Amino acid sequence: MRKRILVTGGSGFLGSHLCERLLAQGHEVLCADNFYTGRKENIVHLLADPYFEVLRHDITFPLYVEVDEIYNLACPASPIHYQFDPVQTTKTSVHGAINMLGLAKRVKARILQASTSEVYGDPTVHPQTEDYWGNVNPHGLRACYDEGKRCAETLFFDYHRQHGLDIKVARIFNTFGPRMAANDGRVVSNFIVQALRGEPITVYGDGSQTRSFCYVDDLIEALIRFMGTEKGFTGPMNLGNPTEFTILDLAQRVVELTGAKSKIIYLPLPENDPMQRRPDISLARKTLDWEPKIPLEQGLAETVEYFRKMLGS
């Protein structure tokens, strides 16, 4: 059955891939975005599809549309962008959640919240399971995003308990792939752009901190499967790649893949930057019959090719 699906943040990195996949499944997709970090280039190839519509809208204001499902992805997701206007970042997470939950309540739509591994902060439990409450600095530079997303989760579960709303809460771990912004400050895009430009690769700290990198196609598949689970199954659910790499290892792989002659330089570690980040995806494996399929090398190769074309290098 063709559904009417709203994707907030639909012109962003993840949102544009999600819109594309939903259209391919035969659904009608409404992309809502204020283009603060989203880019029209990410969705221009979808504009000719008669079942795709774009609405310039900031979800900190109410939205009145008729839809069957809502994917709430709207929020700056990289430190450079979410720390630029931290008050607006918190408003997007909190006011945005209230407005989208209100919409879902009015039209009786199922709604999925794109939460984040940042709700775990700098974890003292490794790997992170969904029942871990986290270790977050509530007034640090990252708090606008971390605590904003934590509050959004609170709102989702309270709407579920108080109003019987059909919710899904996905905690997304580091994801990468084509359509990342070149200037978003995320580690994968940073390293690739620096390598392609022949600039030094900037590693923060000594590079021993770890991350788990999930290719975007795998992540989108998980989101759609999660949205399709039975009513009453809410999560939260970790979605990401459980294979762990050090930041220094990632830098070396990017240099090798691009054939760059860039040197690796070391800079001070940012405030509250997590030293370890790795999801326990046992729940996703059991419930969604899902785990990432695309290895890091393959995903990096696709992403490098995308940035080569973008930069004309």
User: Catalytic one among 36, 71, 120, 145?
Assistant: 145
Nearest-angstrom CA–CA distance, 43 and 226: 23
Collapse the DSSP code of 35 into the 3-class scheme (helix H, G, I; strand E, B; otherwise coil) and give the result.
Answer: coil
- CA 120 to chain CA centroid, Å, is 15
Half-sphere exposure for 131 (CA within 13 Å, toward CB):
2
| 145 flagged as catalytic | yes
Nearest-angstrom CA–CA distance, 246 and 260: 20
Nearest-angstrom CA–CA distance, 119 and 306: 30
Nearest-angstrom CA–CA distance, 122 and 52: 39
By the 10 Å C-beta count (0-12 exposed, 13-18 middle, 19+ buried), 203 is classed as: buried
Residue 129: CB atoms within 10 Å: 15
Half-sphere exposure for 5 (CA within 13 Å, toward CB):
29
Angle at the Cα of 293 from the Cα atoms of 232 and 33, rounded to 5 degrees: 60
Find where tokens 């880019």 sit: 39
Find where tokens 């459980």 sit: 242
Nearest-angstrom CA–CA distance, 89 and 96: 10
Residues marked active site are found at: 145
